[in-house]
Copies of this chain bind each other. A is one copy, B any other.
Amino acid sequence: MNPTESYGRLVTTLKEIGLLESISYLLGWDEQALLPTKGTEHRANMLSLVARMHHEQFTSPRIDEMLREVEGTDLVKDPESDAAANVREVRRAYDRATKLPASLVEEMAKTAVLGQKAWAEARSKSQFNIFEPYLAKTLGLKRKEAECVGYAATGNPYDALLDTYEPHETSSNIQRVFNSFRQQLVELIGRVQSSGKKAPTEIVERNYPAKVQEKLARDAASAFGFDFQAGRLDTSVHPFCQGVGPGDTRMTTRYNERHFNDAFFGVLHETGHGLYEQGLPKADNVGLPLGESISLGIHESQSRMWENLVGRSRSFWKWYYPKTKSALPDTLKDVSEEQFYFAVNAIEPSLIRVEADEATYNLHIMLRFEIEQAMLRDEVKVRDVPAAWNERMKQYLGVVPPDDRRGCLQDIHWSGGSFGYFATYSLGNLYAAQFFEKARQDLGDLDAMFARGEFAPLLDWLRKNIHRHGKRYTAAQLVKKVTGKELTADALMRHLSKKAQELYGV
C-alpha cells in the first residue's frame, strides 16, 4: 500500500475513533450537567464501555502499521503540512497510550477513585493525614508512569507527566519563565499591599438575581462571538466548557446571587474556551490532531484573555457598565463605572486559588508547580507537604492558611493523579498576555473597539493566528510564530503593572 492510501486509511480509522471520543464527551458533559443522582452507576458503566472501545481501537497495532507506512515518506516531508502534523501527533499519543501497561492504567484509575474519596473526606475534616497515604501511593504510580513513558530528551521524569497536559513543554523552560516572573509578582503585590488603597469589593457582594446574571453573561458571550446555534450554556456544580464535536460546544456555570464575579467572569472564561473550540477546524477533522487544541496552556490562554484582558478591561466596562447598571438598577444605584471597575479588579492576597485575582493567582500556581516537582524528586516528603505549602504561602503571598482545608487540601488535582497540570494555568495567563500585546499591535486601538462593543476584530485575529491551526504547531512554535518571540513574563508583567498603577497608584 502506498503512503497516500495508508494515510487515507489512518484518517478514516481516526475519524471513527473521534466519534467515540465525542460520545464520551457528551456522556461526561451530561453527567456533570444533567444526570439524575440515581443514574450515576449506569453512567459509569456506559463511560467505561466507551473508554474501553476507544482504547482498544486507538492502541490497535493497525494504527502503528499505518503510521509506519507514512512516516519518513514524502507525504510528511513538510512538517507544517496536514499529514505531517496529524502523523506526528498521532504517533506521540499512540506511543504514550501503548507504553502504559493496562495494569498500571487500571491501578491509577482505581487509586484515583479512592484518592479523590479520601481527599474529599480529608478536606472536609481538614485532616491531611487522611489523604497522606493516598497521595504517597499516587506519587509512586506517577513515578512509574514517568518511567514507562520515558523522558530521555530532558532527563527529568516530571516532563513525562507535564507532557500529558502541555505536550512538547519542559519543566526547565517553565522554570526559566517563572523565575523572573515570581520575584516581580511578589514585589508588585507588596507595593499594592502598602499602597493603602482598597478596592470597594462590597459592591460585587450585593444582591445579584441569577436571571439577571444569566442574561448579562449570555449577552456578553454573544457579543464576544460565541455562537449559541453551535453551543449552549447550562449550569453545573463545577463550571467547565466541553467541545462535544463540530457545531456542539457546551459551557456551564453556577450562579451565586451574593457575588457578581463568580458566574459573570466564569462565563467569560468559559466563553474563551468555547470560542477556541468553535474556532478549531473540527468539521473536516473529527478525531484528527488538526481539529484539536494544542495544549491546556493554549486553551487557558483563550479563556484568560477573554475573562481578564478583555472582560476586566476599562474599555469593556465603558461599554458594558451602563447595560449592567440598567439591568440592576437597585443593586448598583449608588455605584459609578469607576468604582465597579475597581471592584472587579481588586488585587488582594488570599488563600484559595480559584478565588484569587489576576495577579496573585500566578503565585498560587508556582507554589504548586514547585511542590509537586519537589515531591517527585523526593525533596519534599509527602508528610511535609502542608509545611512546604504554608511556608511558600507566607513567602509569596504573605498569608498562611489557618488549616489544610484552606491550604494544601484545597485542590482536587493531585488526588486524581493530575501531576503536571497546574503549570498550564499560569502558562495560559502568560501566553494570553503575549498574544494580546501582539493583537493590539496588529489591530490598533482595541480599547476603542471594546468601548463600542466590537470584539469581532480580536476574535478574527485569534481565529486566523491560533484557532484554525489546530495542533499544526506546538505551543512554543505557535508563540514564536505569532509574536516573534519565545514565551516570557514580560507582557503579563506589563499588563499587571499598568493595572496596579492605574488602580492603586503604585
Residues of A within 8 A of B (CB): 16, 19-20, 22-23, 26-27, 30, 34-43, 45-46, 49-50, 53, 227-232, 244-249, 283, 286
What is the bound-complex CA distance between A244 and B40, given in angstroms? 12
Q: Is A247 within 8 A of B286, CB to CB?
A: no
What is the bound-complex CA distance between A16 and B50, given in angstroms? 11
Q: Is A42 within 8 A of B232, CB to CB?
A: no
Q: Is B30 within 8 A of A227, CB to CB?
A: no
Q: Which residues of B contact A244 (CB under 8 A)?
A: 39, 42
Contact of A39 among B19, B34, B46, B248 (CB under 8 A): B248
Q: Is A247 within 8 A of B40, CB to CB?
A: yes
Q: Which residues of B contact A245 (CB under 8 A)?
A: 39, 42-43, 46
What is the bound-complex CA distance between A444 and B37, given in angstroms? 35
In the complex, the chain B residue whose C-beta lies closest to that of A23 is B46
Q: Which residues of B contact A20 (CB under 8 A)?
A: 49
Q: Is A23 within 8 A of B27, CB to CB?
A: yes
The 4 closest A-B pairs by CB, nearest first: A39-B248, A38-B247, A39-B247, A38-B230
Contact of A36 among B35, B39, B231 (CB under 8 A): B231
Number of copies: 2
In the complex, the chain B residue whose C-beta lies closest to that of A282 is B42
Q: Which residues of B contact A248 (CB under 8 A)?
A: 35-36, 38-39, 42-43
Q: Which residues of B contact A49 (CB under 8 A)?
A: 16, 19-20, 23
What is the bound-complex CA distance between A35 and B30, given in angstroms? 12
Q: Which residues of B contact A30 (CB under 8 A)?
A: 26, 30
What is the bound-complex CA distance between A501 and B42, given in angstroms? 49
* 12 A-B contacts (beta carbon < 8 Å): A23-B46, A26-B26, A26-B46, A34-B232, A36-B228, A37-B247, A38-B230, A41-B246, A42-B245, A42-B283, A43-B245, A43-B248
In the complex, the chain B residue whose C-beta lies closest to that of A249 is B36
What is the bound-complex CA distance between A42 and B285, given in angstroms? 12
Q: Is A23 within 8 A of B23, CB to CB?
A: yes
Q: How far is the CB of A233 from chain B (nearest CB, A)?
A: 11
Q: Which residues of B contact A231 (CB under 8 A)?
A: 36
Q: Is A36 within 8 A of B232, CB to CB?
A: yes
What is the bound-complex CA distance between A144 and B283, given in angstroms? 37
Q: Which residues of B contact A46 (CB under 8 A)?
A: 19, 22-23, 26, 245
Q: Is A247 within 8 A of B23, CB to CB?
A: no
What is the bound-complex CA distance between A22 and B249, given in angstroms? 22
Most buried by B among A19, A20, A50, A249: A19
Q: How far is the CB of A13 from chain B (nearest CB, A)?
A: 13
Q: Is A38 within 8 A of B227, CB to CB?
A: yes
What is the bound-complex CA distance between A26 and B26, given in angstroms? 9
What is the bound-complex CA distance between A35 and B230, given in angstroms? 8
Q: Which residues of B contact A45 (CB under 8 A)?
A: 19, 286
Given A16-B49, A23-B46, residue A41 in contact with residue B247 (CB < 8 A): yes
What is the bound-complex CA distance between A43 and B25, given in angstroms? 12
Q: Is B27 within 8 A of A42, CB to CB?
A: no
Given A23-B23, A23-B27, A49-B19, residue A42 in contact with residue B228 (CB < 8 A): no
Most buried by B among A41, A43, A230, A249: A43
Q: Which residues of B contact A41 (CB under 8 A)?
A: 246-247
What is the bound-complex CA distance between A109 and B219, given in angstroms? 41
What is the bound-complex CA distance between A248 and B231, given in angstroms? 24
What is the bound-complex CA distance between A286 and B43, given in angstroms? 12
